[in-house]
Amino acid sequence: MRLVRLVYYSHASREMSLSDLKSILDVARRNNQAQGICGMLSYEQQYFLQALEGERSAVNELYLDIAEDPRHDEITIISYEEIAEPFFKQWKMGYAGGSAEFTKLLQSMGQTEFLPDTMTPQQAFKFLQHLTGNQAEL
């Protein structure tokens, strides 16, 4: 079995409400558990940044489905790599959105706004890793 981590960002087609995010997460958590996929989703300033980890073909297939979702566009892969073990394995899909901690984390990375299109692969992964400690209840 080959395990991979895919990190992408995208731009939401419109401003997402908490209930929009909740409905994405409810489906994600249900499907991901069935597929052995885990990860982390963040949303702020109309950008999504998401990590997907799991068996290579399952992650590839899920990414293709997500990429066709009309709720977002400009979907761009930041990194795709083989991993020895998942980092986000505790989470079928963790979530973090804007909060004081979120802003602090951005500032520590020298960013004032959440602009994942400017992040390097290392920054994007580090950011999602840090966010696991600042998750919102959704």
Ligand X SMILES: Cc1cc2nc3c(=O)[nH]c(=O)nc-3n(C[C@H](O)[C@H](O)[C@H](O)COP(=O)(O)O)c2cc1C
* Ranges of H-type helices in 14-111: 18-35, 56-67, 100-108
Spatial neighbors of 76 by CB under 8 A, at least 6 apart, are 8, 9, 10, 117
Smallest distance, Å, CB 57 to ligand X? 15
Task: Name, in order, each residue with C-beta under 8 angstroms of 83's C-beta and a sequence gap of 6 or more.
Answer: 3, 4, 5, 53
CB-nearer residue toward ligand X: 22 or 71: 71
The residue (of 56 and 104) whose beta carbon lies closer to ligand X is 56
Residue whose CB is less far from ligand X, 28 or 105 = 28
Q: Work out the angle between the directed axes of helices 121-131 and 100-108 (0-180°, nearest 10).
A: 150
The residue ranges that bind ligand X (CB under 6 A) are 24, 27-28, 31-32, 41, 48, 50, 62, 65-66, 69, 71-72, 93
Smallest distance, ligand X to C-beta of residue 40, A: 10
In whole angstroms, the minimum distance from the beta carbon of 65 to ligand X comes to 5
